[in-house]
Amino acid sequence: MSPRITKAAALCAFLLAVTATPGRAQTITFSASKTLDEFEFALTGRGKPGEWSVVRDDGTQVLAQTGADSTDDRFPLAIYRPFSGRNVDVLVGFMPVAGTVDQAGGVVLRLSSANDYYLARANALENNVRFYRVVGGKRQMIAGVDATVSGRAWHTLGVVARGERFTILFDGRELFAATDATFSAPGRVGVWTKADSVTWFERITIKPLD
């Protein structure tokens, strides 16, 4: 089955969603020769570790989590090693490819460990986008809205973090904002999946706002 949103449309959504703020953005794309060395792979919760690899989609190389362990509180993470920051604008392109328990993809930020971070995630089976804090490995929802998240389609998901305020963007538009003061220190950025979600990530754009 081919994606219902083209790569060109996904790229347009990236350009629309990146905010005009100070700082130099870096865009991480994927190749088998370098990508896996730039990431630390971890697991929140129980179950099998994530199965991460670089695969090819329509001529583009993407980072894929292909492990289909259906443990409900299994959350594989791919954490970008070179960057740490507090106030950031992070945007990812992702596709929920398969999954019977979940079809989810997420962005993590201010990560200090595999059990402590903020998370924005979109779920194609639930058709919603939510923002969480993960404290001691336990998710606590801060805010969320219903939104159409199509399976086998490319989407963009982003978080703009400034102090205690977080703005969540999906497919080029602002969905909601929330405030929270749990994690105030700089931390790392990464991507996330849940349970048996097979999810592809096309690129990650990170823009420091400090």
pLDDT tens track for 182-195: 999 999 999 999 99
**Mean pLDDT value across residues 111-140:** 98
The more confident residue out of 206 and 16 is 206
Cα–Cα distance, 40 to 176 (Å, whole number) = 30
Distances 59 to 13, 29, 30, 62, 160 between C-alpha atoms, Å: 20, 13, 12, 10, 30
Phi, psi of 36 (to 5 degrees): -65, -30
Residues 64-103 have pLDDT tens digits of 999 999 999 999 999 999 999 999 999 999 999 999 999 9
pLDDT band at 23 (very low <50, low <70, confident <90, very high): confident
Domain boundaries, the chain: 7-208
The architecture of the domain spanning 7-208 is Sandwich (2.60)
The pTM score is 0.89
Half-sphere exposure of 21 (CA within 13 A, CB side): 16
Helix (H, G, I), strand (E, B) or coil at 163: coil
Comparing 14-18, 89-93, 134-138, 174-178, the range with the smallest average pLDDT is 14-18
Question: How is residue 76 written in tokens?
Answer: 């594989």
Helix (H, G, I), strand (E, B) or coil at 138: strand
Mean pLDDT of the chain: 90
